[in-house]
Structure 1
């Protein structure tokens, strides 16, 4: 993880201090890592691991030590700028349930006004997993309630549809702004969407060749297979042609050596 978190020119640590494309330039209200270990012998994946802290990412010495030590086939890292909820460990992303990890950039507008109605939509099977007070965790548990574990894209579309319908009942014109990322150990599902059509940014690498150009002296990057990929809020460098922006109202599923795009539209709740 050290290569992505610390060594790139515009690494995640640099972004936590000097974000160029985000809503907040400084993201110092905590951070989190989530990663998967793939045991030898073809055994099933264990539930993912997490390391979360309310310290700013740039000021946590243990993060640098962990990043040097952790090697994972699939991981997610997140830096937080709090909106309507406090800086506390249970509010730091990624959130976890079973084999799933979930991270979110953006917000539910007027969340304190909508919070009660949204929480009542969480299925009893998932409500006990609620630990913090963020809109992001509620979005995750709603997506699980709508079937994330079985069919991720329709579940995320129903989650967004439920939030928008709730928001508009309360007079909120543009309830949702999000890029979200959900992982289950074998694939990564991401969506860029907002009610107003002006979402947080999202990029992916165009080829491993460009990654090798980014890290010419890193033997771990040199050893990457040709189907490796990165999905990021901001590019790690200004290398021409290395990054492709994910369009508005688009979903991505990456895994098994493929990265596929789909149009994304909310699904309104039924009567």
Structure 2
């Protein structure tokens, strides 16, 4: 399982999440505490928004802890919205095209989780993509394909509905092929104005997701960035998070999540 962190708010240096916290993303790349494996050394990436609508992107196959360029960039780049990811490969080779985040136009996307039986699903799912989106597929991971499918299902029009439709379609396609897939999907994605996250699993064992204020903004992470556990709120399984401006809201995601209440998370970050 991978580790990731995302931030939205007043511009900060990327190092506040990537390298300077006691349990920063670089620290998690070789000592994760809430993942199946403690090492996430199969590459890394950051996508950040600045003055242009499309995000900047830097990815490499080196372990995050050994890349001096990452620390230097994180120290110099300020952004009010960015996504950062360290990878532990569960499918697809260790190559730059398979490193998260993935970007297309103004959208950025990163994922922690997996789709069981993906090799059986890959061809029929890729066949759904139009030529424009199919030609945008440069890697081999399930994560990149899920992102492109979300674009196919209307990420620009209704991001949350597009993700839900995409996940349902993957499950339906597995049923058509005669097997049951297990989807574990904790993802963050952004259009440069809003930051979204979804925590979902078809077996209700989704990878972890936490939220906390950071300065004059808010961050979402796979696991807390420091030892102040009281500051971090665990996002329930079957939830969607939206951060826009200074407001953060958490709502149920997917049909089975409607019975679960999360009133303590429907708040405004000051």
Same fold (TM over 0.5): yes
Secondary structure, counterpart of 1:47 in structure 2: coil
Q: 1:193 to 1:243 in 2, by over 3 A?
A: same
1:64 aligns with one of 68, 71, 74: 71
1:249 aligns with one of 220, 224, 238: 238
Q: Distance in 1 between matches of 2:21 and 2:197?
A: 23
Taking structure 1 as the reference length, what is the TM-score of the superposition? 0.86
Greater shift in the superposed pair: 120-129 or 189-198: 120-129
1:82 matched residue in structure 2: 89
Q: 1:130 to 1:239 in 2, by over 3 A?
A: same
Structure with the larger strand share: 2
Q: Does 1:32 align with 2:45?
A: yes
Q: Does 1:191 align with 2:180?
A: no
Deviations 1:89-115 (A, max 9, x none): 000001011000000000111211111
Q: CA deviation at 1:125?
A: 3.2
Q: CA deviation at 1:174?
A: 3.7
Q: Distance in 2 between matches of 1:252 and 1:124?
A: 31
Question: Given that residues 34 and 51 in structure 1 are in contact (C-alpha distance below 8 angstroms), is that contact kept between their aligned partners in structure 2?
Answer: yes
Q: Does 1:102 align with 2:109?
A: yes
How many matched pairs? 243
2:251 aligns with one of 224, 237, 262: 262
Q: Does 1:15 align with 2:28?
A: yes
Q: CA deviation at 1:122?
A: 1.8
Question: Given that residues 92 and 141 in structure 2 are in contact (C-alpha distance below 8 angstroms), is that contact kept between their aligned partners in structure 1?
Answer: yes
List runs of 5+ in structure 2 lacking aligned partners: 1-13, 257-270
Q: CA deviation at 1:171?
A: 4.1
Q: CA deviation at 1:170?
A: 3.2
1:159 matched residue in structure 2: 166
Secondary structure, counterpart of 1:101 in structure 2: strand
1:49 aligns with one of 56, 62, 69: 56
Q: CA deviation at 1:265?
A: 1.0
Secondary structure, counterpart of 2:19 in structure 1: helix
Greater shift in the superposed pair: 236-245 or 29-38: 236-245
Question: Given that residues 117 and 181 in structure 2 are in contact (C-alpha distance below 8 angstroms), is that contact kept between their aligned partners in structure 1?
Answer: no
Secondary structure, counterpart of 1:229 in structure 2: strand
2:153 matched residue in structure 1: 146
Alignment root-mean-square deviation, CA: 1.4
Question: Given that residues 129 and 148 in structure 2 are in contact (C-alpha distance below 8 angstroms), is that contact kept between their aligned partners in structure 1?
Answer: yes
Q: Distance in 1 between matches of 2:91 and 2:72?
A: 31
Secondary structure, counterpart of 1:106 in structure 2: strand
Deviations 1:50-85 (A, max 9, x none): 000000000101111111111111000001111121
Q: CA deviation at 1:172?
A: 3.8
Q: Distance in 2 between matches of 1:177 and 1:245?
A: 17
1:236 matched residue in structure 2: 225
Bigger relative contact order, structure 1 or 2 (CA pairs below 8 A, ≥6 apart): 2
2:121 matched residue in structure 1: 114
List runs of 5+ in structure 1 lacking aligned partners: 39-44, 212-223
Secondary structure, counterpart of 1:230 in structure 2: strand
